Structure 1
Amino acid sequence: MNEVRPIRSDIGARRLDAETLKANFSDLHPPLARHEAVVEADRCYFCYDAPCMTACPTSIDIPLFIREIQAGNPIGAAKTILSSNILGGMCARVCPTETLCEEVCVREIAEGKPVKIGLLQRFATDVLMDKGEHPFTRAAPTGKRIAVVGAGPAGLSCAHRLAMHGHDVTLYDARQKLGGLNEYGIAAYKTTEGFAQREVDFVLDIGGITIETGRALGRDIHLADLRRDFDAVFLGLGLAGVNALGTEGESQAGSADAVAWIADLRQTTDLASLPIGRRVVVIGGGMTAIDAAVQAKGLGAQEVTIAYRRDQTAMNASRYEQEIAQTRGVAIRCNLQPKRILAQGGHVTGIELERTRTEDGRLVGTGETVTLEADQIFKAIGQAFLPDGVDGEGGDIQLERGRIKVDGERRTSLPGVWAGGDCISEGDDLTVVAVEDGKVAAEAIHRTLEGAKA
């Protein structure tokens, strides 16, 4: 075993000056200027049966909106985007375009340099939002009322589409700010200058949406009551649970949940005041692990290591995101699974990990251990759906693989109840997929209510 001498805990604030922090948390992808956007749009082949459009979960007509930019009509381009994805501005910032639309771009296949679809989408939507005009209008009031529980991407998408059809929507959320993971769970350098709340305000400008914050399902509101009082219910509950390591020492001071830490970081008004260790270890291989590690480094941690139990090709975070972490000084060490967290005086001093390998498709421990010094450890090993509020109230909702089971129209097993986003069994834990869930469910609810009226 590779033993180390326990280190003194050293978690502190104000490690970096204000200018350095500003640079470290500046926009990951500075927006394109108008001329740059037109030049980039000119690279598009405007393919018939464009593979980029097929790869987009919300089926944005990518060739059309790029042609509109090329023609000097960014407002028209934005309307094309937003008609398919009302959160197109956020998705342009956080969508893994490198594994979706840009990965299948003909330019990528032919030259290894795709059209910058994400940046073009951001350019168009920013122009429209800066103009301050909502591109859609509500239909005549239908008199129907829908409850949307959860104001993350799925809930916002569903609420907007229903309001556009003329329905009255009451949007509930357990937190005080709307936006879900867009507000609380995405790295600060990906969505700067309060963009998440600007986009929420933009979505609500459609009208017909009443907001009730600080209202949690199962605590303040109840599914049976919602089903009784509303014509339909949509659940966009997200994943409130956090998976535990299940290792010795997990509860020691200095060992924290990465999701909660990122939420705290996103809500702080003074980054310099946020305490960070000198040696930080992040356990996990997904986007949350990358976001936590990069931001820990950005706050002034001297050493940041991501430890992942499988090999690097199995990481859920895209290769592009891994490269962002590595170029910012984060070390990625693979085939290491946590064995126990070391502590002294009730505070983390390191973590012992076991080397792993894959045998016949199964991950197995080798018995060999490695110890990393750390005064702060973040756990980013996935989140879980908590069924609080959806079971035992007016009939249980059927679950599948620990999440809500839905059909192709996002109907649950309970009549009059739809669901979407990370809380459903088909959820892909992507903002753009959640937006599509909300849109599909809203159209299904609309058809159902219109059919009942006929």
Structure 2
Amino acid sequence: MLEIGGIEIQYGQRLGEDLELATLHKQYDSVFLGLGLGASRALGLTGEQAPGLMPAVDYIKVLRQADDLGTLAVAKRCIVIGAGNTAIDMATQMARLGATEVTLVYRRGIEAMSATDHEQEIAKANGVRMVTWAQPDEILLDDQGRVAGMRFAKTHDQAGGLTTTGETFEVAADAIFKAIGQDFEGESLSDATAAELARDGERIHVDETFRTSLPNVYSGGDCVKPGQDLTVQAVQHGKLAAHAIHQALAAKQEAA
């Protein structure tokens, strides 16, 4: 990418911490916000910060960048919460890395899982146990405050809505990985200028050319609207926004 020329990467700067949108707005003719969804959704349970419980994407990031898989910490008994490809990938990788028990738990049935059938079959072939119609109820901790397992509430479909049956069960585990989706990090847009951006719920509102409500500020990817959360989709947003930015700057030059 850098071989294209004219591209500068500035490291160690984070929007919402040591960098403000107002500063970028003043220094550049246009700004593109490709913030993604950097925050993992919370379970909303006591003990969620306990050692042994972490977002699946955090572990997968370490896994993908490891030069030696033998250096990775691998729990013997793992619980993965979720139903998408990230959850399946996490469960499969833990089984392949040597975990003796890997249990994937989802609050609805198999037919509602967003992970592809192919990914599900790979997980099963690697010994992953899938438990459906169950949702997290309580994080179980040992005497040192570390994860010891989880209590789940059994669920069922009632008139099109999900509800608990009143029954619970427990699964022992040394590690719990949550893969229940990502959220937008609001702290990224915490300065006064960013606060003026129109939003659709948590997502930044853009028009068909990916322009935001602020002049010369564009945005794309997962942070603008719900979609398939695919890299190729985010890249397409960037491409279309770049064309729109080019046309807007060219029009200004012609007017000058």
TM range (shorter): over 0.9
Is this contact kept in 2: 1:411–1:417, CA < 8 A? Answer: yes
The higher-RCO structure (CA 8 Å, 6+ apart) is 2
**What is the match of residue 35 of structure 2?**
237
How many Å separate the matches in 2 of 1:427 and 1:435? 13
| Aligned counterpart for 1:312 among listed residues 102, 110, 116 | 110
Shift of 1:216: 0.7
**Structure with greater strand percent:** 2
Displacement of 1:303 in angstroms is 1.2
> What is the aligned partner in structure 2 of residue 375 from structure 1?
174
Residue 89 of structure 2 corresponds to residue 285 of structure 1? no
Q: Distance in 1 between matches of 2:251 and 2:186?
A: 31
Aligned-partner residue type, residue 301 of structure 1:
A
Match of 1:364 among 163, 175, 184: 163
Render the CA deviation track for 1:26-46: whole Å, top value 9, x for unaligned: xxxxxxxxxxxxxxxxxxxxx
Segments of structure 2 that go 5 or more residues without pairing to the other structure are: none
Cα distance in 1 for partners of 2:5, 2:186 equals: 31
TM-superposed CA distance for 1:437, in Å, is 0.7
Contact 2:16 2:191 (C-alpha < 8 Å) held by counterparts: no
2:49 match: secondary structure: coil
1:335 Cα offset (Å): 0.9
Q: How far does residue 442 in structure 1 lie from its aligned partner after superposition?
A: 0.7
Q: 1:255, 1:378 within 8 Å by CA — same for their partners in 2?
A: yes
Say whether 1:321 aligns with 2:119.
yes
Residue 255 of structure 2 is aligned to residue 448 of structure 1: no
Counterpart-to-counterpart distance in 1, 2:139 and 2:17: 35
Identity %, equivalent residues = 47
Task: Tell me how far 1:269 sits from its aligned partner.
Answer: 2.3
Q: How far off is 1:427 after superposition?
A: 4.0
1:44 maps to none
- C-alpha contact (below 8 Å) 1:401/1:425 kept by paired residues: no
Structure 1: how far apart are the matches of 2:31 and 2:148? 48
Of 213-222 and 375-384, deviating more is 213-222
Residues in 2 aligned to 1:389 and 1:277: alpha-carbon distance in whole angstroms: 33
Q: Distance in 2 between matches of 1:414 and 1:344?
A: 51
Q: For 1:316-358, what per-residue CA distance to the aligned partner results, in whole angstroms no more than 9, with x for missing partners?
A: 2222222221222212211110001112122222211011111
Aligned partner of 1:424 in structure 2 is 224
Distance in 2 (alpha carbons) for counterparts of 1:392 and 1:251: 28
**Given the superposition, is the C-alpha separation of residues 412 and 452 from structure 1 closer, same or farther in structure 2, using an over 3 Å criterion?**
same
How far apart in 1 are the matches of 2:226 and 2:83?
Answer: 21
State how 1:19-98 maps to structure 2 within 5 Å.
Answer: none
Distance 1:221 1:248 in 2: 33
Equivalence for 2:63: 265
Correspondence 1:339 to 2:128: no
CA distance, structure 1, for counterparts of residue 52 and residue 17 of structure 2: 31
| Contact preservation (8 Å) 1:248, 1:339 | no
- Write the letter of the residue equivalent to 1:418: Y
Larger Rg: 1
- What TM-score comes out, normalization by structure 1 length? 0.54
AA at the equivalent of 1:236:
G
Structure 2 match to 1:400: 200
Distance 2:134 2:88 in 1: 16
The letter for the 1-side match of 2:11 is T
Distance 2:201 2:118 in 1: 29
> Per the alignment, in what secondary structure is the counterpart of residue 209 of structure 1?
coil
Q: Secondary structure at the match of 2:102?
A: strand
- Check whether the contact 2:76–2:100 (CA below 8 A) recurs between aligned residues: yes
Q: Number of residue pairs matched? A: 252
